Amino acid sequence: MDMTSKQTPSILLTGGTGFIGSHIAVEVARAGLRPVLYDNLCNSKRSVVERLGSIIGRPVDFVQGDIRDGDLMRRTLREHHVSAVIHLAGLKAVGESVQQPLAYWDNNVVGTLRMLEAMNDCGVRSLVFSSSATVYGEPQRLPITESHPLSATSPYGQTKLAIEHMLRDLSVSDERWHLCLLRYFNPVGAHESGQIGEDPNGIPNNLMPFVLKVAAGQFRELSVWGGDYPTPDGTGVRDYIHVVDLAAGHVAAVQRLDGMRCEAINLGTGRGTSVLELVGAFERVNGVKVPHVMKDRRPGDVTSCFADPSLALQRLGWRTQRTVEDMCRDAWRWQNASAARTSPD
């Protein structure tokens, strides 16, 4: 089949030039499907499109647009013969969402609403949604299964919960919809080519991007937010998942959408790793130092959070393949490759 033809059914990736979307594009293409990226570039760069083309080995279709633009969505869905949507577009900074709640409700919730209307108009009713472990709020039991009670501790989390509810209502109303809500734990790492990865604006909030900047000498030291948690070494525990494993989970979900009405599925490794364990692994596999100092707990942080990923294995036939060491190695390769690209010589 000629995968470059616009007649070939395609998978639309909203937020496709972002961190996770760009990795999904590679896995979608590897699975023999045609990715079409749709992004307003509010938190990513157009240069990702060319780099994806070089990883995949052929040009990738890109539409610059906003998910709230219903007309452009409808045109894109029709012109590219879209058969399913992977919906990643959204704002994701927890702290910023507290400062600008309306921007988050507008972009994430209204944006999803407009996109669903456009999909319905075009008869495209298959969707994989980027949800988050944030919908579990403060964990009441570990590991976290999909039946764990849902709550939100930030406007960002509220928007994810609201979208999950919207999708459930839609599913009840019309059995032609096929919906999968993927709840990610902590995605980190980068593609092994070093060509795509996470590129946050300004000072990173998340652990791995900050570790990278410290290892690269751009910041003096890492602040470890809290050394007095009831965990083996006193630091917070999370379920870090390699972004390429996460991407493969989306392809598995797209391929099984026909058998689903509306299902929520965790994507995680099932293993908890503490801040100090992650820093130690990073230093060991990359042979670099990550100076760090213990600080007070960061407000709003939970002690431990990790997935029970057994439903993903059962429903999607998917499990993670990559280790924390792989995550550290691939993230560092990406950091060095992007530093080399931006250096003047």
Provide the annotated active-site residues. Answer: 156
Query: Which residues ranging from 71 to 130 are in contact with ligand UFG (CB under 6 A)?
Result: 92, 94
User: Which distant-in-sequence residues (6+ apart) come within 8 Å of 50 by Cβ?
Assistant: none
Tokens 């008869």 found at: 123
131: β partners: 183
* Three-state DSSP class for residue 337: helix
Verify binding: residue 21, ligand UFG, rule CB under 6 A: no
| Closer residue to ligand UFG, CB minimum distance, 122 or 152 | 152
Record the tokens describing residue 288, joined without a space.
């670099």
Determine the Cα angle at 175 with ends 169 and 181, to 5°: 55
* Contact of residue 135 among ligand UFG, ligand NAD, none (CB under 5-8 Å per partner type): none
Question: Burial level of 4, CB count in 10 A (0-12/13-18/19+)?
Answer: exposed
Per CB under 6 A, the list member of 62, 104, 177, 184 interacting with ligand NAD is 184
Contact present, 246 and 184 (Cβ < 8 Å): yes
| Closer residue to ligand UFG, CB minimum distance, 145 or 205 | 205
Query: Which residues ranging from 78 to 97 are in contact with ligand NAD (CB under 6 A)?
Result: 88-92
* Contact of residue 176 among ligand UFG, ligand NAD, none (CB under 5-8 Å per partner type): none
Stretch that binds ligand NAD, among 37-45, 226-234, 263-271, 274-282 (CB under 6 A): 37-45
Contact present, 11 and 84 (Cβ < 8 Å): yes
Classify strands 82-87 and 186-188 as parallel, antiparallel or unpaired.
unpaired
| Closer residue to ligand UFG, CB minimum distance, 58 or 298 | 298
Count CB neighbours of 203 within 10 A. Answer: 10
Stretch that binds ligand NAD, among 40-48, 212-220, 230-238, 323-331 (CB under 6 A): 40-48
Per CB under 6 A, the list member of 14, 22, 126, 134 interacting with ligand UFG is 134
| Closer residue to ligand NAD, CB minimum distance, 91 or 254 | 91
Cis peptide before 232 (omega within 30 of 0): no
Verify binding: residue 44, ligand NAD, rule CB under 6 A: yes
Stretch that binds ligand NAD, among 5-13, 18-26, 220-228, 331-339 (CB under 6 A): 18-26
- Give the separation between CA 241 and CA 244, rounded to whole angstroms: 9
Per CB under 6 A, the list member of 85, 133, 247, 328 interacting with ligand UFG is 133
Per CB under 6 A, the list member of 5, 9, 42, 169 interacting with ligand NAD is 42
Q: Which residues of 254-282 are buried (b: 16+ CB within 10 A; e: fewer)?
A: bebbeebebbbbbbbbbbbbbbbbbbbbb
DSSP state at residue 79:
H
Q: Output the smallest distance, CB 249 to ligand NAD, in A.
A: 12
The residues of the shown chain that bind ligand UFG, judged by CB under 6 A, are 92, 94, 132-134, 185-186, 205-207, 210, 222-225, 236, 238, 275, 298, 301
